[in-house]
Structure 1
């Protein structure tokens, strides 16, 4: 959205999601209206690394198929807002609304939920009817865009490099605000926005040659010794934090991977062995980035810290390719009659 606003500042967005409004206020400077709406179930998480399949199944049974009255109500809103396109960030609900309102739909994804649920099918997770239902909805999309790392290649209209928000301020400015010396080695520890209790914080203070930035590490900004603990929602723009670090350690997830990819820093990633996307992301890191795997137990216990000197010696990857966000923005802005758009976003 930010990349589209750069190309055409007159574009307006109607954003339907449960992602907090502050995220969009922090990410884009253009015109948008926010609508709090559950647009998909995804996979319910017990922790950042553990899924809750029984709860996922319960919510899917309550959510699918889509309530016809909800689709009609959303269709009325889309028509009143005079939306020209409906952009779907993995979420299939927007495709259904687009069909009902006769507005072209654009699907942007590196996986679809039918593909994910299909991997979990078992007697404990009898979700076959949801796989078939969602696969049918996805087939009706008008424009299909896939973003690397792609989990299942389709006959897409566009395939781009990883999509991330652009860095805004210099590494030096971020370090100054966090009282980190310019030449210090800095590690970002992140679990991708899902709350996590870090059991190894006391061990970090013994690594005095390094500084650690931890979003979600405290309710307020706390700068103590070599630790910068930040709330989940802070004035610090996450891509700027990534860019200010020498390495990132955290959950293997798309958004974090994309920001690291474009900031060119090493990635100590924690795979999610039961989540189908994780294998694809790991192969991409191995082939296109400088990274190293850390098991869940190694992360939780803090034993990965013994490898910190070697981690900090890993060089950055020199990269010249485009950001997928810019590629997608150009594609959409070249479609006819771009003025107002509705975005139906995935929930996590």
Structure 2
């Protein structure tokens, strides 16, 4: 009997989709180590390795573009639209080529986060396509204006072919999907004891005055690090190795550490709106300070959902980039809802996948 094979297709946009999909893939392997994994993404392999410390096949292919961005906040919409039209025009050849690979590889199930063409690729290979996300790309592109309408309609048609959607928290309605089920938060789990890291890195500041600054895989070019001088009794952590050398700014080593690994050291995280950062912080009950991002449709949805379930502060870009950072001295706002948010999305999705793969009749 051949080993069951799961093919995970990950959208070509930022790092967050890759980390949350890899966390789910790791949960699948934990439940059933015999499952073969194919990770289909152009996200760097070192990133997957940080969340998926098991054997898998790395297949560096891309079926979508997300949004072309020079950094974590700026977007190049004309280049994005041109690339999307190119992807659409090559759809038939792309689908045929990857469906042939799925058949050759004897893939049993596709899990996509959340390239639209994954549905067509899976069905051309006569296997189901399940998806996981808190938004669809049709929702994002439609908000960019009428020139994106035709593309958004095409993507909505792709999503209507999805066999099963796991809808993550902090979501938009995702009305294009015919079959959906809500699941809990996804993400990684810290791998280190906080006290051991504090000793190793010689961090003396208490947790309440330790802050993680993280802005996703693309980072930012204009973080106002000079503001940190106003807080000499605070400790700041960053993964930005281009940051200036400051006495109260510690640069986390590049290898072996993820934002979630250092979150337990901190009293809050300062970030842009990003599902994976918000999700991992909420899983650890870590307060979130975020910048608003109203030019990207997911931004207000994420910030609104985060305010419901996390201690928080919400800043305008002007307050963050040009203000005095007085927000660090202000009290945090409590979550707006008292009902706890579900935190076991990894396990929920992985269990559904393993149950399907283990069923000889492959009943969903």
Q: Please indicate the TM-score interval, normalised by the length of the shorter structure.
A: 0.7 to 0.9
Contact 1:213–1:230 (Cα < 8 Å) also in 2:
yes
String of CA shifts for 1:70-100, please: whole Å, max 9, x gaps. 2222112212221110110011122111011
* Pairing partner for 1:272 from 293, 313, 331: 293
**Shift in CA distance, 74/167, structure 1 to aligned 2, threshold 3 Å:** same
Please name the residue that 1:78 is paired with: 102
* Pairing partner for 1:99 from 120, 123, 127: 123
Please name the residue that 2:21 is paired with: none
Q: Measure how far apart 1:133 and its partner are.
A: 1.2
Q: Measure how far apart 1:202 and its partner are.
A: 2.7
Please name the residue that 2:275 is paired with: 254
Point out where structure 2 has 5 or more consecutive residues left out of the alignment: 1-24
SS of corresponding position for 1:45? coil
Contact 2:63–2:87 (Cα < 8 Å) also in 1:
no
Q: Measure how far apart 1:153 and its partner are.
A: 4.6
**Shift in CA distance, 177/198, structure 1 to aligned 2, threshold 3 Å:** farther
How many residues are aligned here? 331
SS of corresponding position for 1:308? helix
String of CA shifts for 1:174-201, please: whole Å, max 9, x gaps. 3233321273521011111113224422
Q: Measure how far apart 1:318 and its partner are.
A: 11
Given the alignment of the two structures, is residue 181 of structure 1 paired with residue 207 of structure 2, yes or no?
no
| TM-score normalised per structure 1 | 0.87
1: CA distance between counterparts of 2:32 and 2:315?
42
Matches within 5 A, 1:226-265: 226-230=248-252, 233-265=254-286
Given the alignment of the two structures, is residue 306 of structure 1 paired with residue 326 of structure 2, yes or no?
yes
Between Structure 1 and Structure 2, the one with more strand by share is: 1
Q: Measure how far apart 1:215 and its partner are.
A: 1.2
Tell me which moved more, 255-264 or 191-200: 191-200
SS of corresponding position for 1:331? helix
Contact 2:205–2:235 (Cα < 8 Å) also in 1:
no
* Pairing partner for 1:170 from 171, 193, 215: 193
* Pairing partner for 1:158 from 170, 177, 181: 181
Q: CA RMSD in A?
A: 2.5
Q: Which has the higher contact order (CA 8 A, sep 6+)?
A: 1
Tell me which moved more, 271-280 or 150-159: 150-159
2: CA distance between counterparts of 1:242 and 1:299?
21
Q: Measure how far apart 1:51 and its partner are.
A: 2.0
Q: Measure how far apart 1:230 and its partner are.
A: 3.8
Contact 2:184–2:341 (Cα < 8 Å) also in 1:
no
2: CA distance between counterparts of 1:247 and 1:289?
11
Contact 2:186–2:345 (Cα < 8 Å) also in 1:
yes
| TM-score normalised per structure 2 | 0.84
Please name the residue that 1:144 is paired with: 165
Point out where structure 1 has 5 or more consecutive residues left out of the alignment: 340-348
String of CA shifts for 1:128-162, please: whole Å, max 9, x gaps. 22112111111111222111111115454421122
Please name the residue that 1:287 is paired with: 308
SS of corresponding position for 1:282? helix
SS of corresponding position for 1:205? helix
String of CA shifts for 1:289-314, please: whole Å, max 9, x gaps. 111111112222352x2221225x77
Matches within 5 A, 1:120-135: 120-122=144-146, 126-135=147-156
* Pairing partner for 1:114 from 126, 132, 138: 138
**Shift in CA distance, 320/200, structure 1 to aligned 2, threshold 3 Å:** closer
